[in-house]
Structure formats: structure tokens, C-alpha cells
Structure 1
């Protein structure tokens, strides 16, 4: 999308639909087709899910890793790394993000899991694990599509990653063992070492972040910023959505048979997930508006609060409870619900910008490529 934006000043509304590329204009359709194609492939191509699942290195799915890296690299190559200090100095944004992601998010998912799935302990545990895995991947592209602050997204995702390494196992013990014990509920546990989580962060965030930084640094040094943003970025930009669609096809192909064979269970798992995404996203928006953040940073705060690291949640559930477990199915249903819901929220976000954030003049050179 080629709408204008700036870090601290509200940007002008998105370009009319007629100016958008075909890929951008029909994005919900492409995502729906990718989800449908993945489910059909997983259901009707014998052994496809097992074959894709078998392409791993040290427990990391190579097809999913490839899709995520392709998806994240173009967006991170657009980040103006010389502006990151404007984000790290914004204490309102940083503290709000930590509060939403590591205090409110897990607590909301814990409450919803026990309210809606009290009689289904496997699914309940799986949902709680999803709530603990804060987003470090797809949030980058949702934020970009909603014209959020790219620099802020890069900083908040990095911050989430650091917290994830140190807090995931600790919060897992608290919400699955200690707190249920205090409340007299059934207890569970997870097996997640800090190294396994750190490895996931390094692969799915570290590689595209380093590639994006080096591309901008050496691209601008060789050709200048004007060439980099006017010529180079439009060429690599569409690959973010290609990577997203590829990832969706692979994810749904992997679990197509499991999802289609448990439709009622999927519906029961979906209800608390839908409520969770709505509560976290709108809560992020209300908090951002209440503390006076710009549209861009409010949007970034909302999407980073609502998104989850499905790759980590699924990996932990499978490693601890097995690939055919209810916990793993709950993790798989996460992106099944998250993808269409957050795509819809991208459009809600753009509507909110036109409705509540008046367009302001842009400083020179602050075009969004």
C-alpha cells in the first residue's frame, strides 16, 4: 500500500481503492482463497500434511519458516532505522505495550479459556499457551497494512521477543499450575526451555530484521535514500503478501484434516479466541487514544497486543502434549481465527483513522513506500 504516513504526525487517508494494486485491493479474497486452498489440500491430498510436517530442521518447520521470512523481510527493509530513537524514547508506548502484552493478554486468555472450555481441559490448556505466546511475526504485516508506525512495530516486536525468552516458561507455570492451584482448579504444565524460545525468536525475527537493516544501510549508502524508497522498495514490497499467502496455505494444509474432522471442537475453541482478539485490539486502541498516541502508534499498539506467536504456541503444545493432542489443535485454530479477524481489523483501523484522526500536513520526505 502506498499511502503516506509519519511517526508522530497523523497521515492522510489511504489512496482510493482504484489506485491500489490488485493484490492490495482484493487482499481479503486472496487470504480466503489461501485458507480454503490449504484446507482442501490438507483434506484431499493423502499424506500432504505429513510430508510438509516432515520438512524440519531441529524441530523448525522449513516451509513455515520460509513463508514467515519472505513475509517479514520486505516490511523490515522499509523501516527507517535511524528513527528508532523516537520510539525508544516514547515511554507511554513502551509501558503500555508491556502492560497489554504481558499482564492483560495472558490474564484475558486464562479467563476466557476457563469460562468457555472448563469441561475441555486439553483445549483450555492449548488456549492458555496461545495467550502466552506474544506475536513477533504476522503483526508486522497487519501493522503495515493498517498504515501503522513501522519503526514502533519493529521496537515493540523486539521488546516482546526479549520478554518472551524470559517470561514464557515462568508465566506458563503461573497460569497453568500456580494460579489454578490457588483457585482450586485442575492444574497442567508445559515444557518450554528458554533456549527453544530464543531459537524461535532468532529465526523468525532476528534473520529478517538483520536482513532488512543491512539492505537499507547498504542500499542507501550505494544509491541514496530516494532511489531506495522510490525504486527498490516497490519491487520487494509485494513479496510480503506473497509470503503471507504461502504461509497461510502451508499452515492450513498441515492441519486441514484435523480441523475438518473436529468441526464442533473448532467452533468451541473459536468463540473465546474471537472474544480475545476483539478485547485486546479494541483495548489497545482505547488505551492508545486515552494516553494521546498518534493514529500510527495507537494502531501499532493495538495490533501488537492482539496478535500471537502461533508458531511458538503450536511448537510448545506439540513438544509437550503431542501432535494429535487437543492442546495442539487449539494452537492450530489460533491462526485459523486470527488471520481473518485481524485482516478485518485492518479495515476497521483504516475507517477509524478517517473517522477520528483528522488528516494533518506531512513533513517533507515522510512518504510511505
Structure 2
């Protein structure tokens, strides 16, 4: 962790972030949208999102969805359901299945996406939060290369965080009235390093199809390109999704790169295929996967790490390093290092044993934000703010 802190505190290494649904799940807010340890997740996980997205359907649509859930079994969630619905939309035509024909399944897909938009359209909490801390770390160092964020989430939390900090970023779109996707700039590195890159691998709310092109800025109600699945290979003629996946591959094939995964389950077959191929081709790149659960529960990430020694998995109770699994064992340390260790090791809360904390996005973001601190001390006054940092002065 000492080496990682040093890498994070400097701006020389090419660093990327792979951010999954666990990120907003880790942020707890109250009814006033303010950070609260006793609040609810800013955006729920896949299971709760599935339940909420299906709650507003008509009786006929609910009957069709229940039949699909029975067919999908344990794999039934919002993404697998949308995939199946869109396949039926294309395949059925006028033939009815579970009470709906092709047009009926098209309307069902749109209805589900509208409900998803209501949930993932949550706004950034008032005041500092994990997203703003992460952006502060990104924006707080003079960098040789831009930080690239690859995310499967369709919310606008990163966009709001960058804009709140007045930090420039590029998300693949250009223009003012109807920003259009620009694959040429995505593929290149023409923009200055202070411009962070934000790549929405699964699409986003606010994206829309207009005149055969993908445009941005259509508001939180624009949900037709949320988890596009077959659309990313058909209607949009492989844009922008092929360009974004190619960008991920290009990033990993660049010498001396580090990709930090947080809140990502490694159950996305498309992304894992890119990671597997790129890591096999480039032994000089590395992926650090910070996983929330135990190694026994993080089987997808560990399975890939066994095959690719340049993928290191850090789970709550152990790690896979160079393809070899092992459990955490604390060694002796100095008093100063104990204060640093408290930023990545401890209890997740009452009833939890001590373990590795950086699988929690909130702890990961705080760890990054404190990377430049010259000393860390535990505050005796409050448990809510466990660490105080001393940072070096900014030299013009």
C-alpha cells in the first residue's frame, strides 16, 4: 500500500479507473440528499434496481416479465431481462409470446428504461462525498497523462463532480446544441493531460438517438441508450460502444499503465474479455481490483487473476497476487505506519471483523484523496471522521 500511495501522489504514471455499480451503492444519503451513515444508498445495487424498475409495469407487462424471470432463473436481473426483451422485440414480429408481440416487447423495454432512469437519475449529494474526493485527487496533481475513467454506470455523478470542481473532462462528445459522438478524438490523445477522460461503457442517461446518430445532453428523461446491449452492435453501427471498448483495450496495451477497479463485480463478459486479452498481450500493464467481499464470494475476479498474473485482486479477507491466493496477515509496524494502515484496514462497521477496506468505494476514494498527505492521525473526537491529514503546501 505504501507503493500505491506513492504512485497515487505523483502524476507520472498513466492511471485509469474502472468503476462499477458498487460505487454509488457505497454512498449513503438521507431524505435531504445529504451524506448520512444511517441513510440509504444513493443508487441501489442490481437486485434492488431490478425490483424498482419492474414495479411500475402494467399487469400484462408484469406477466411477461415474470415468465422471462422464470426462464432466466438465478441469472435474472435488470440487464439480462433487458437483453432478452430486446431479442424478443427483434425476433417476434406479430407473433405473441406471454401476451406480447414484438411491438409489445419494444414498449416493455422502454418502460423499464424509464423506470431505471428515475432511479439512476439521482443527483450528487450536497457537500463533499466520495465522488468529489476522487475528483479532487485527480485534479490535484500536475499529470503527464490524463486519468481515464471507464464506468459501466449510466448515472451522471462523475459529470456533476467534475463540473462542481470546475475540472475539465472529455466524454467522447463534442458540440453545444446537440453534442455528437467523436470517435476520432476518443481514439487519439490530442487533448491536454489536465482534461480527464470519462468513458461510459454501457451508455448513459441523457444519451439519445437522433437522425441515426448518438447525441448527449437530452436530460435525465432520455433513457433509450441505458444498457443498450444489442443496440451497441446494431442500430448505432457499433458507435459509440465499439470505440469506447477499443479505448479500454488501447489503454491497457499502452506500456506502464495501471487500471484500478472499484465497485466492479467482474461479471460483465464483454469487459472481462477485453481485460483478459489485453493483459495477456501486455505484461507491462497492471490491474488492481479492489473487491468489497471475501475471496470466496469474489470468484469472478479471482478466476481471472489466476490466469493473468498482472491482475491483482484485493478482497476483504485476502488477495490474489501473481496468480497465487493468500489470506491477509498483519505484520509489525511503526506508530506512523499504523495511522496510514487505518486508511485501508479496519472494520466496516458494528459486527464486522477487521479487514481490507478499499473494496468499499468510499474508503477507496478517501485513500486516493489522502495520498498526498504527509501524515495521518486518528481523530479522538469522532468516529465519523476517523483520519485527519496534513498535506504539503502548494508551491506555485
* Same structural fold, with TM-score higher than 0.5 when normalized by the shorter chain: no
Higher relative contact order (CA 8 A, sep 6+): 1
- Which protein is bigger by CA-based radius of gyration? 2
Structure number with higher strand proportion: 2
After TM superposition, the score normalised by the length of structure 2 is 0.30
